[in-house]
Chain A
């Protein structure tokens, strides 16, 4: 808490200094070296911009950059893009060998690692002047703060939710999940699975939710505890984890959830993508992907709250679906910040991206965005869970990605029955030991 206040004060101070500088440069007729935090629009600059995504997103970036160049014709933006894993593989190599691109689309799970190693520029001097902070709420800005430095600005947010498939539910004659506890959810899934079996349809109620670390996280948060402390220490015990995995013993063994073997066959699609399950707990920005993968015969999805662990608990939170960061090695920090501001705040960027990068976090960008029905549904969803939204957990620890993947693989093995819960807990804590002692 203290931390936040301190940072806020710092931000205010910075904003003050910056505006003072603006006034000063205004008086001096511009061109002052000390100003630092402004971009001289006559300066010819070339920036490298890297993002992950597919060809569709690349076209949207092109559109946004074209709009950017109408305003800033002297900044040439060379963009490059790759799929998610390749994007990070390349960044890791560049981080080790030097040569990160000026502006990057960034992922939350890598933010701490790159920040703590001084690879990302502290954006503090640009906040409130080049980068407009007005349209961004404080808790959104707070997300990109590591160790007191703002190294990323969220483009958009997402929240944990549950997608359902209305068409399949109608087919087997089961009502939408009406909320309730995890046991209620288990029962509902069983109802779907049984109804599907009776109707001769290959369909399950859902996927074993204990394979996802986020479900463990929200159950822990319901108890008032984040997975990791501010200092990056684990905040759960072996018993907590064992209990979590054991709660799905029944649905795993009685065939309520889709079997691991079937899931593996459709991988990298999920069971939900392949119309094999009627529900899936996931981030709410996955909707467009689901619709795309389900094919043209599916036009709408259900999006409801995840099961409740503890009535009234603030177990959910808003997470940046992605951020924009600047490499600390950039030669043109002002121009780079100008580009970041445009990509994060401008209505033009909103118009270009819509909800492709998640629900726009900035009000001005959101205004520019024309929401499709799904986008509107997500916006409505995030508004509806307001009461369950708590503070975001601390920026993920270094190596969180490793743990998340380990969690998923262990979930798989539990599904196959190649690991017992005790062995699984052992393995996970062993892995965590290694990760924390890096």
Chain B
């Protein structure tokens, strides 16, 4: 991510003046024997040593547990591999089949895109909205925080499938409540048009993780900034837009990026609710559900690996674009820009 380096470089520029001051100080003390460039080089070496020192555990994990398997899966993407016999090189066959000869793949891509584009903004808006509400007053906040997080605790167990199916079945709570408003949709579970919305609502219901991260971010906003804005005569809306949002932007960026990635990889909830089938009529056959079925049920590991890498590339492009945009809206207090 070149943006990353850029922002670090900018940040460095910010503190350069201070460091220059330090160098001058040192030179004054030590009689200026050490040339500035040598000092900088020594400093750079020390930094590099420190950097890699802090990164040791991560590097071991990255090189040992992630890089190898990743490269291997990239290789598998160009093979036919049924887990039992040696992979057989087939070139781009898997990719060709994916885009030209697999109606299920195309359907899977479509519903996944809808899920990401509709579900993620709603989930984030809900998480931010509730986080702001929780942050507004402190009464009973422990209770509320816990309540809103509770749905996320249950993860994607069999129980979620049982509960969610019951909520959306014919004459279930959702159906009955909507009937009160004269909306007669019947059960959602078996309705091909309503299953996807049902899955999106499940994701929104489990908005605890981004909410907690927003809350932690809100706690980091220094009160002085609100006081200053107050002195400048800012109203609640102004304070929200000119203090809260900019100060929260690194966290918003984090949640947006991660929730988007997670939504693309939605698996457990759909898998469990459809009992691994991706049904009805393929409407919960999200990308990774389909990938999993191809890999582990149908033993087409090569095809599954190819699917995975198409997903990686698409999500990487989206992540890259998000990183590019962060310069214009994400504000890091520690990197004075």
A117 at the interface (CB under 8 A from B): yes
**CA distance in complex: A263, B280 (Å):** 10
**CA distance in complex: A260, B101 (Å):** 27
Per-residue 0/1 for A393-434: is the Cβ within 8 Å of any B Cβ (1 yes, 0 no)? 000001101100100110011001010000000010010001
A242 at the interface (CB under 8 A from B): no
Tell me the number of A-to-B contacts counted with CB atoms below 8 Å: 73
- With A96-B84, A117-B84, A401-B297 given, is the CB distance from A265 to B282 under 8 Å? no
Contact of A117 among B85, B103, B280, B281 (CB under 8 A): B85
A69 at the interface (CB under 8 A from B): no
B299 at the interface (CB under 8 A from A): yes
A297 contacts across to B, CB distance below 8 A: none
Whether B279 contacts A264 by the Cβ 8 Å rule is yes
- With A265-B189, A430-B101 given, is the CB distance from A416 to B296 under 8 Å? no
A402 contacts across to B, CB distance below 8 A: 297-299
Whether B281 contacts A413 by the Cβ 8 Å rule is yes
Interface residues of B in 135-194 (CB under 8 A from A): 165, 169-170, 186-187, 189-192
**CA distance in complex: A402, B296 (Å):** 10
Whether A418 contacts B298 by the Cβ 8 Å rule is no
CB distance from B28 to the nearest CB of A (A): 64
**CA distance in complex: A318, B273 (Å):** 33
Which applies to chain B's interface (DSSP): helix, strand, loop or mixed?
loop
**CA distance in complex: A308, B10 (Å):** 80
B276 at the interface (CB under 8 A from A): yes
Per-residue 0/1 for A60-86: is the Cβ within 8 Å of any B Cβ (1 yes, 0 no)? 000000000000000000000000010
Name the residue of chain B whose CB is nearest to the CB of A268. B275
A435 at the interface (CB under 8 A from B): yes
Whether B187 contacts A261 by the Cβ 8 Å rule is yes
Whether B103 contacts A418 by the Cβ 8 Å rule is no
Whether A399 contacts B299 by the Cβ 8 Å rule is yes
- With A260-B280, A409-B279, A418-B192 given, is the CB distance from A119 to B84 under 8 Å? yes
A89 at the interface (CB under 8 A from B): yes
**CA distance in complex: A85, B169 (Å):** 25
Contact of A261 among B84, B191, B276 (CB under 8 A): B191
**CA distance in complex: A438, B93 (Å):** 13
CB distance from B107 to the nearest CB of A (A): 10
Whether B276 contacts A92 by the Cβ 8 Å rule is no
- With A260-B190, A261-B187, A405-B297 given, is the CB distance from A416 to B281 under 8 Å? yes
Whether B296 contacts A89 by the Cβ 8 Å rule is yes
Name the residue of chain A whose CB is nearest to the CB of B170. A265
Whether A85 contacts B280 by the Cβ 8 Å rule is no
Name the residue of chain B whose CB is nearest to the CB of A85. B276
B316 at the interface (CB under 8 A from A): no
Whether B277 contacts A409 by the Cβ 8 Å rule is yes
**CA distance in complex: A119, B277 (Å):** 28
**CA distance in complex: A259, B187 (Å):** 13
- With A117-B85, A412-B280 given, is the CB distance from A262 to B297 under 8 Å? no
- With A265-B187, A265-B190 given, is the CB distance from A434 to B300 under 8 Å? yes
CB distance from A404 to the nearest CB of B (A): 11
Per-residue 0/1 for B291-322: is the Cβ within 8 Å of any A Cβ (1 yes, 0 no)? 00000111110000000000000000000000
Whether A438 contacts B190 by the Cβ 8 Å rule is no
**CA distance in complex: A113, B83 (Å):** 10
A236 at the interface (CB under 8 A from B): no
- With A96-B83, A117-B84 given, is the CB distance from A262 to B190 under 8 Å? yes
Interface residues of B in 103-129 (CB under 8 A from A): 103
Whether B169 contacts A265 by the Cβ 8 Å rule is yes
A15 at the interface (CB under 8 A from B): no
Whether B280 contacts A416 by the Cβ 8 Å rule is yes
B165 contacts across to A, CB distance below 8 A: 265
B82 at the interface (CB under 8 A from A): yes
Which applies to chain A's interface (DSSP): helix, strand, loop or mixed?
helix
**CA distance in complex: A435, B300 (Å):** 9
CB distance from B91 to the nearest CB of A (A): 15
A286 at the interface (CB under 8 A from B): no
CB distance from A105 to the nearest CB of B (A): 19
B85 contacts across to A, CB distance below 8 A: 117
**CA distance in complex: A117, B299 (Å):** 13
Per-residue 0/1 for B245-282: is the Cβ within 8 Å of any A Cβ (1 yes, 0 no)? 00000000000000000000000000000011111111
**CA distance in complex: A435, B80 (Å):** 11
**CA distance in complex: A264, B192 (Å):** 10
Per-residue 0/1 for A246-272: is the Cβ within 8 Å of any B Cβ (1 yes, 0 no)? 000000000000011111110110000
CB distance from A113 to the nearest CB of B (A): 7
**CA distance in complex: A408, B278 (Å):** 12
B84 contacts across to A, CB distance below 8 A: 95-96, 113-114, 117, 119
Per-residue 0/1 for B77-104: is the Cβ within 8 Å of any A Cβ (1 yes, 0 no)? 0001011110000000000010001010
CB distance from A205 to the nearest CB of B (A): 19
Whether B190 contacts A264 by the Cβ 8 Å rule is yes
Whether B279 contacts A438 by the Cβ 8 Å rule is no
A401 contacts across to B, CB distance below 8 A: 297
- With A261-B187, A264-B189, A268-B275 given, is the CB distance from A412 to B281 under 8 Å? yes
**CA distance in complex: A262, B190 (Å):** 6
A435 contacts across to B, CB distance below 8 A: 298
Contact of A95 among B83, B277, B278 (CB under 8 A): B83
Whether B277 contacts A405 by the Cβ 8 Å rule is yes
**CA distance in complex: A262, B282 (Å):** 16
**CA distance in complex: A193, B280 (Å):** 24
Name the residue of chain B whose CB is nearest to the CB of A427. B103
Interface residues of A in 346-396 (CB under 8 A from B): none
B297 contacts across to A, CB distance below 8 A: 401-402, 405
Interface residues of A in 261-319 (CB under 8 A from B): 261-265, 267-268
Complex A-B: 23 CB contacts under 8 Å: A92-B299, A95-B84, A96-B83, A96-B84, A259-B190, A261-B187, A261-B280, A264-B190, A264-B279, A265-B170, A265-B187, A265-B190, A267-B279, A268-B275, A398-B82, A399-B298, A402-B298, A402-B299, A408-B277, A412-B279, A413-B281, A434-B300, A438-B82
Add 4 more A-B contacts to A402-B298, A405-B277 (CB < 8 A).
A95-B84, A402-B299, A412-B279, A438-B82
Ordered nearest first, which 10 A-B pairs have the shortest CB separation?
A: A264-B190, A261-B190, A117-B84, A96-B83, A402-B298, A264-B280, A265-B189, A268-B275, A265-B190, A418-B281
